[in-house]
Chain A
Amino acid sequence: MAELTYREAVAAAIAQEMRRDENVVFLGEDIGAAGGVFKTTVGLLDEFGPLRVRDTPISEQAILGAAMGAAMTGLRPIAEIMFSDFLAVCWDIVANQMAKARYMTDGQVSLPLVVRTANGGGSRFGAQHSQSVENWAMTIPGIKVVAPSTPADVKGLFAAAVRDDNPVLFFEQKSLYASKGEVPEGDHVEELGKAKILREGDDLTIVALALMVPRALEAAERLEKSDGISATVIDLRSLVPLDTQTILAEVAKTGRMVTVEENPRLCGWGAEISSIVAEEMFYELDGPIVRITTPHIPLASADHLEDMMIPSVQRIYDEIRRAFS
C-alpha cells in the first residue's frame, strides 16, 4: 500500500497499463512534456517516449477520432479531453461514432479505448470549465461511464477501463485531484459495474458518485451523531454498467433512498436510479425518494456562489433531515 493523491493515482494507473501492454498508447493536449495541465500525467513521456505519449494540437475531434481509428486497428488508446466540458466540441465522435460503430457493423468493429477527462466543479473555473457531465455519457447507448471517488479507485477502475474491450468514458473529478488515499501497490484492477458500500445503516440509503461521495459520508456521520439517523452510503463508481442489484438490495433493507448528484437537476444520473427504484422496489419504500442536486442553472464562478450551488455537506445534511422530519 502507498499513500497517493488522486492525481498521482492517475499517472500511476496509466503507467501500470502502458507497462503491461505495448498496444496501450496515450494522446492529448499538454499531456507529455508538460505532464498535464492538472499534473496528472507527470513522468509518462520520460518513461514511454514520444511515440507512445503524444502531445496533440488543440483538436478535440482529431484527438478522439484518432483514438477511435487506432482502436479499430489494433491499439488500445487512452485519449485525454482536458475539461469534460470540451466533450461538447467532439461529442459527435463519442455519441455518433464510438458508441455505435460496433452495433452498426454487426460486431465487426472493436473499440477498446478509454477517454479520460477532468470533470466537475468546485475549482472556481466558471460555467464552461466546471460542469459535471457524466450524465450526458450515460444517455448514449454503447458507452461505459466510470467516475471514481478515491485514489485507489482511480487506479483500479482505470485499469479495468483500459482492459475492457469497449469505449469507456472515465470522469476524474478535478476538485479531488489533491485528495489522498491508500492505493494498493502492484497490479491493482477493480471491476466496472460494481458499486461499493462504504457505510452501513438502517434508516436510509444514500447513493452518491465522485465528489459527492466524501460529502455524503460526512453528512451521514453528522446525521448519526446529532439526529440518530443511520444511513448506508453507496459509492456508485460506474453509471454504465449500473450495479442495480446493490442499490435495490440496500434500498430494500432501509426503505428509503436519497441520491446526491453533482449534475444539474434535469436528467442527472439520480433521476434514472430513482425511476428504477420506484418501479422495482415500490413496495419496499417507506417514503418518497429524494434527490439532492446542483440546481438547473449554469454554475456561477464566485467561490461563495459556487459552494452554494454544488451540494455541500451542510446542504446534504439539511435536506436529509428535512426528508425525515
Chain B
Amino acid sequence: MNVIMPQLGETVEEGTVSIWHKKVGDIVVSGENLFDVSTDKVEMEIPASTSGELLEILVLEGETVAVGVTLAIIDDGSKANEVSVDISTKSEENFSNIDNQSTNRSKIAKDKIGKRDSLGNPLSPVVRRLLTDNNISPDEMSGSGSGGRITRGDVLAYLNNNVANSNNGQKVVPFDSIRKLTAEHMKRSKSTSPHVLQAIEVDYFSVNRARSVVGEVWKAQHGFSLTYLPFIAKAFCQVIKEFPRINAHVLDESLLLFDKVNLGIAVDLNFQGLVVPVIKNADDKSVAELAKEIWSLSEKARNKKLLPDEMTGGTYTISNSGAFGSLITAPVINQPQVAILSTDGVKKKPVVLETDMGESIAIRPVGVLAQSFDHRAIDGAYSAAFLKRIKDYLQDEEWNVSLD
C-alpha cells in the first residue's frame, strides 16, 4: 500500500515531511505514528493505516511535496492503491445551459447594417434585424422616433405598406424564430456532414399482425393509435447494439460512442416548425413504453411544454415522414449524430414470397426505411448491414405488445 501526503486542512495543497518515525525495513503496525507532517497551518502526527514492512521511503525528511504524492510503500499484502474509478467522459452538451436553464440564447444576427443610419441616428437591435432579414436599407424610410430615429414600428409599417402596395403578386413573409433556427441548423448540418442516403424496403406483415391484435383495445385504453413507429424504434434499439458506431456523435477527428440509446423523434408542429424531443434510455423500453413516451413527448412538443432536458442528449434521430405516404425521404442529420432514419409511407403492394412450395405473390404492407449517414464516420457497407438487420428484425420478430 502506498502512503501518500494527506490533505490536512481544506485549503492546503502541499506538506513537508518533518520526521520519519520508522525506517526502511522496519515493521509498521497499524495505528502507530509513522511520520509527522507540517504545513503552513498545522503540525500533525500521522499514524499508519495498515501493518507490514516499510519497503521504501520516497520522500525524505525536510522535503515538501503536493497532496496525494506517494511518500512511502508498506508491504501489507494488498495491491497498490486502486486506480481511481473510471468516469466515462460525457459530453458537456447536456449541461451547457445548466446556469440559465434556457435554450433561448439570442443567436448573433449576421447583419450588414451598421449601428447608425446615414443621418447618424442609432438603429436598435430589432430594427437592424428586421432590415437585414428583409434586405432593405434604413435609407428607404423615415423615422418617427426622437430626433428622426427609425423605430421598430417604422420598419414594420414600411414592410406592410410595401406589401400592400405591390402589384406583382409577391409577398414577403419574414421567418419567425423557429423557422430561422431550423434554417440555420439545416444549413449547418449539410455543410458539416457529407450526407449519403441509403434505403431499404421492409415488409411490415408481422408488425401489422401485432398491431391489429391489440389495436382496438390499445386505442380505447390510451386514446391514441399504436402506429408503426414504436415497433421501428424498438427494432432500432435492439439492432443498434451490433452497430455501435451508429449510436454515436461525430467529433473533429473521432467518434463518441454511447452505451445507452437516447432516441430523438422528430415532431412536426402543425407545419410551423420541427422539434426533436428525446426518449432517454430508449433501449430499456418495451414497444408499449416507447409508444406511450412518443405520444406524450409529441403532445408536449405541440403544446410547447417540452423541458430543455427533454430536447437534449440524443444519440440518434428518427423522422417519421411517412404520415402522408411519401415514398422515400433523405432526412438531414441532427448534428452531431452519425445518422438519421426516415420512416416513409407504408402501402399495400404485391410482393414475391419464396416458400417451400415455390414462389407466389402476396399482398403485403410495405414501406421504405431511409437512413442518411455521415460518410466521415461510417461507410455504405456498415450502414447497409445495419439497415438489413433492422429489416430482418421487423419482419422476423414475434411481436408481442403488452397493453398496460
Contacts and interface: CB of A to CB of B under 8 A. Distances in A.
In the complex, are there CB atoms of A and B closer than 8 Å?
Answer: yes
A281 interface: yes
A279 interface: yes
Contact of B124 (A244, A276, A280, A286): A286
A286 B104 contact: no
B125 A280 contact: no
A248 interface: yes
B126 interface: yes
Nearest to B154: A286
B362 to A, nearest CB: 53
B238 interface: no
Contacts of B104: 248, 279-280
Contacts of A285: 124-126
Interface residues of B, number: 16
Nearest to B123: A286
Nearest to B130: A283
Interface in A259-283: 276, 279-283
B247 to A, nearest CB: 30
A285 B129 CA distance: 10
A282 B127 CA distance: 11
A280 B153 CA distance: 21
A286 B125 CA distance: 6
Q: Contact residue range for chain A?
A: 10 to 19
Given A255-B152, A325-B146, A284 B102 contact: no
Contact of A286 (B100, B102, B105, B127): B127
B98 interface: no
A170 to B, nearest CB: 24
Nearest to B104: A280
B100 A282 contact: no
A50 interface: no
B106 A281 contact: yes
B225 interface: no
A142 B153 CA distance: 41
A79 B109 CA distance: 50
Nearest to A286: B152
A44 to B, nearest CB: 38
Contacts of B50: none
Contacts of A255: 124, 126, 152
Contacts of A282: 106, 125
A246 to B, nearest CB: 12
A255 B152 CA distance: 8
B208 interface: no
Contacts of B152: 255, 286
Residue with the highest number of chain B CB atoms closer than 10 Å, among A279, A280, A282, A325: A282
B151 interface: yes
Interface of B: 100, 102, 104-106, 109, 124-129, 146, 151-153
Interface of A: 244, 248, 255, 276, 279-287, 325
12 contacts: A248-B104, A255-B124, A255-B126, A276-B100, A280-B102, A283-B109, A283-B125, A285-B126, A286-B124, A286-B125, A286-B126, A286-B152
